[in-house]
Chain A
Amino acid sequence: MDLHYTDAQNAFRQEVRTWLAGNVPAKRLPSFDTEEGFEAHRAWERKLKEGNWGMVTWPKEYGGRGCDLIEWLIFEEEYFAANAPGRVSQNGIFLLGPTLMEYGTDAQKARYLPAMASGDEIWAQAWSEPGAGSDMAAIRTKAVREGDTYVINGQKIWSSRAVFADWCFGLFRTDPDSARHKGLSMILLPLNSPGVTIRPIAQLDGDPGFAEIFFDDVRVPSENLLGPEHGGWGVAMATAGFERGLMLRSPARFQRTAEKLLALYRENEDTASPATRAAVTQAWMDAQAYCYSTYMTASKLMNGGAVGPETSCNKVFWSELDRAMHRAALSLSGAAAELDAPWLDGYMFSLAGPIYAGANEIQRNIVAERVLGMPRG
């Protein structure tokens, strides 16, 4: 146990800080759920790549810096402190990337990772279907093998930023006679493939952040299979592990929100109630707790340990913390809380946190059944 940064870690922090100070755009970029905003964010990803900051934990050959997880946390801390733009490439770098590292062939890693780290190829996730949300094993979209090609038919929904993204990855039923978790495969495909139709769906804020993806005899080479054929469930669970576990939402994000909430409280101290002050204090404590927990997980992984179903606790904790922080901020904003502004935007998005990446009720089931060992019902 040693909770001091090394000199090398401090130097790394300084390097990140300096680069960000010179490069983060002064003006907030438009939302990446709009066409203009998406391309502005892609340009930022390219900028990050110029500084070689695309995904610091990846090996150099794939566009990374070979950083360890503590350095990644430091990078994230500096990134959020600098108010740098949201990562439009998050599905790729945080979720598919680590999955590729684990299941991809060398050829697949070389093909996909560098373009992911540079923002040249931005990925959407294609898991959910109209009949398969929480119950992902109910996926029906078929990928039928014909020689060295899969022919895909069916429909995906709620795919974030698929309207603008270049590629998607997701689960498809490759064994037509299979049921539930068996017979699914993880497949990667370009969203401009013939037979793909993308229909935007406006999100809560009115922007086309979601899409439905329709597949009509879409032909995909079999080399786009990631991991074992019919063994996609295990591959998807690895992705989900990254999503809920370490990568998708780093603690810095919530520590930054807590810090802004504290500032908002101070601006409104004269009119604020003790109840809100208590909520602000709790938010700060919880954001710190999530940070300590993540450093612990990172240390465990660096020591050769593994993470298990307890990561489902993370998702529940950070999503409900985020919602509580934004709720407190709106409470502090008085009549202006109604106006379209960052805290309200943030509040709306915080309402999605308990739904996406596996709804919190499902996470609680996992905690009960797989962490505590309670009987399945």
Chain B
Amino acid sequence: MRFLFSEDLETLREGTRSFLEGRNPAERLRQQDSPSLWGELVEMGLLDITDSLPLAESVALFEEVGRVALPEPLADTAAIAVPVLRSLDAAAKRASTSRVAVCHPLCPFANQAADADHILYFDVDRVLLLKPEEAELATQESIDPWRTLSTVRPIGGEVIAESSGASDFAAALGAVAASAELLGLADRMIRMATDYAATREQFGKPIGTFQAVKHLLANAQVKLEFARPVVYRAGFALETPGLTRDIAVAHAKVAATDAAIFAAEQAIQVHGGMGYTFEADLHFFMKRTWALAAIWGSREHHLGVIDQGLFTQSVGTGPQNSFQHKKANGS
């Protein structure tokens, strides 16, 4: 039992953070024509991160992706497509530099599908791998300026699996990656508000000296502190299908969504009128938050899973069921 990332991972996380902060500062989010960082992400090895790291550890890197609201849809390929294709022994179908968009019942609008090399398409009980030209894409407009969405109707492609297992796995991977990004977003928004409160002055002093303002952000920080371990716990459950995984993942998505939505609400409040503008950077992070809250299972969806677990399937509760333990439990 060790609920801690390795030092190597923390080093990798630091490196990833400074790379992403350096290459994707908030100003870049205003430049819709900014050149893609995809090639650099590939060079960093981020696409194949789950080949070199356990899924549980890769989660930490998506926190960093969320922190900068990265426009490139890294999670679709790195957090979802790569592990799913690997689990289907279909890894060869994806060249190491290729970019995959994902369409799934819980994520029905594929992001930047036209720019992808492949679309991984999940039906209830089959998985298709398509080229963008093997699908009819109908544009949908996201509130997030960096998410170019479309519905996907396959008109060709290859069936690579015919079972629900891969779809369930993708749903879990997608929900945990989105949860991790939401943690990063929450942290970033709290920091943005903290910085703003240190410089904006009213009544002759920084608004951050007012206790009412402090408590808005302290509350957001408390929520974040107690969402983070829940997401990490779900990351550890990813490899093992079953009720434990389903509930851990559902809990993660609810906790991370609640923490990020709450952080966004406190952050805009602290920014005052400036928060309600396009000029302040905050909106990019809020909009990404709303988008990620909606996909890979809404709050309603995941609360339903937990409700089922607690009230219908009678999942083990209480202090002896913090984690799975083979021998001692229930004996």
Binding site for B on A (CB under 8 A): 1-7, 9-11, 13-14, 17, 70, 73, 76-78, 80-81, 251-253, 255-256, 258-259, 262, 265-266, 269, 277-278, 280-281, 284-286, 288-293, 295-296, 298-300, 302-303, 310, 313, 316-317, 361, 363-365, 367-369, 371-377
User: Are B225 and A375 interface neighbours, CB within 8 A?
Assistant: no
**B264-287 vs A, Cβ < 8 Å mask (1 yes, 0 no):** 000000000000000000000000
Q: Return the chain A residue nearest B231 by Cβ.
A: A292
Q: Given A1-B57, A3-B236, A277-B307 in contact, is the A303-B4 Cβ separation under 8 Å?
A: yes
Give chain B residues whose Cβ lies under 8 Å from the Cβ of A277. 307, 311
24 contacts between A and B (CB under 8 A): A1-B6, A2-B2, A4-B1, A5-B323, A11-B328, A14-B328, A251-B319, A255-B318, A256-B318, A266-B311, A269-B311, A284-B306, A284-B317, A293-B225, A293-B229, A296-B3, A296-B229, A364-B214, A364-B218, A368-B217, A371-B218, A373-B194, A374-B208, A375-B206
Question: Which of A2, A7, A269, A371 contacts B327 (CB under 8 A)?
Answer: A7
**CB atoms of B325 and A316 under 8 A apart:** no
Are A10 and B317 touching (Cβ within 8 A)? Answer: no
Nearest A-chain residue to B226, judged by Cβ: A289
Q: Nearest residue in A to B325 (C-beta to C-beta)?
A: A5
**Which residues of chain B have a CB within 8 Å of any CB of chain A?**
1-6, 54, 56-57, 190-191, 194, 197-198, 205-206, 208-211, 213-215, 217-219, 221-222, 225-230, 232-233, 235-236, 251, 254-255, 303, 306-307, 310-311, 317-320, 322-328, 331
Interface contact A259-B209, CB-CB below 8 Å: no
Q: Are A1 and B232 in touch, CB under 8 angstroms?
A: yes
The B interface is mostly helix, strand or loop, or mixed, namely helix
Contact of A295 among B211, B215, B322 (CB under 8 A): B322
**A residues in contact with B215, CB < 8 Å:** 361, 364-365, 368
A291:B310 contact, CB within 8 angstroms? no
**A291–B320 CA distance with the chains assembled, in angstroms:** 11
Instruction: Tell which of A2, A17, A253, A256 has the most Cβ of chain B within 10 Å.
Output: A2
Given A14-B328, A277-B307, residue A285 in contact with residue B255 (CB < 8 A)? yes
- Rounded to whole angstroms, the CA-CA distance of A7 and B306 in the bound complex is 30
- Measured CB to CB, the nearest residue on chain A to B194 is A372
Inside 8 A of B306's CB, which chain A residues have their CB? 281, 284-285
CA gap between A368 and B210 in the complex, in Å: 11
Give the shortest distance, in Å, between A218 (CB) and chain B (any CB). Answer: 38
Contact B226 A286 (CB under 8 A): yes
User: Which residue of B3, B205, B208, B211 contacts A3 across the interface (Cβ within 8 Å)?
Assistant: B3
Interface centre among A278, A288, A373 (most CB of B within 10 A): A288
In the bound complex, residues from chain B placing their C-beta under 8 Å from that of A76 are: 319
Evaluate whether A1 and B56 lie within 8 angstroms (CB atoms) in the complex, with A13-B328, A284-B317, A293-B225 already known.
yes
Complex CA gap A226/B218 in Å reads 33
| Docked complex Cα distance between A81 and B191 (Å) | 40
Closest to A311 in B: B225
Q: A375 and B319 in contact (CB under 8 A), knowing A1-B2, A6-B1, A367-B221?
A: no
**CB atoms of A70 and B1 under 8 A apart:** yes
Contact, CB under 8 Å: B229 / A375 = no
Q: Is B229 a contact partner of A292 (Cβ separation < 8 A)? A: yes
- Using A5-B1, A5-B323, A300-B4 as known contacts, say yes or no to A289 and B255 having CB atoms under 8 A apart: yes
Q: A77-B322, A259-B319, A285-B306 are in contact. List 11 more A-B contacts (CB 8 A).
A: A1-B3, A1-B54, A10-B327, A13-B325, A13-B328, A255-B319, A289-B251, A293-B225, A299-B1, A368-B218, A377-B211
Q: Are B218 and A372 in contact (CB under 8 A)?
A: yes
Q: CA separation between A253 and B218, bound complex, in Å? A: 25
Residues on B with C-beta less than 8 A from A377 are 205, 209-211, 214
Contact A369 B318 (CB under 8 A): no
A3, A316, A364: which contacts B323 (Cβ < 8 A)?
A3
- A256–B325 CB distance below 8 A: no
| A258-B321 Cα distance, complex, nearest whole Å | 12
Q: Within 8 Å CB of B225, what residues of A?
A: 293, 310, 313, 317
- Which of chain A's residues has its CB closest to B214's CB? A368
- Closest B residue by C-beta to A310: B225
Q: In the assembled complex, which residues on chain B have CB atoms less than 8 Å from the CB atom of A289?
A: 226-227, 229-230, 251, 255
B contact residues around A302 at 8 Å (CB): 2
* B317 touching A258, Cβ below 8 Å: yes
A369 and B214 within 8 A (CB) = yes
A371–B221 contact, CB under 8 A?
yes
| Chain A nearest CB, measured from B289 CB (Å) | 19
C-alpha gap A199/B331 in the complex (Å) = 49
